[in-house]
Amino acid sequence: MDKKELILNAFSETGKPLKSGDISEKTGIDAKEIGKLIKELTTEGKVYSPKRCFYDIKK
């Protein structure tokens, strides 16, 4: 499973918006790398930011 899939699974498991730090804890991916991956997922249209510093999957 690649890192983007791990991030998307973390959102699915919690069912609520998460901060980068929370995603890092759940996936074991470095927080700096989470930022880059979230940006890519946002560009791909899979993730959005419902409020500042929080992210969630698009439904």
pTM for this prediction? 0.89
Can you give the CATH number for the domain in which 16 is found?
Answer: 1.10.10.10
pLDDT tens, residue by residue, 12-46: 999 999 999 999 999 999 999 999 999 999 999 99
Q: Are 50 and 19 in contact (CB under 8 A)?
A: no
Range of the domain at 18: 3-57
Number of structural domains (the chain) is 1
Q: What's 18's DSSP letter?
A: B
49 phi-psi bin (left φ>0, alpha ψ -120 to 50, beta other): beta
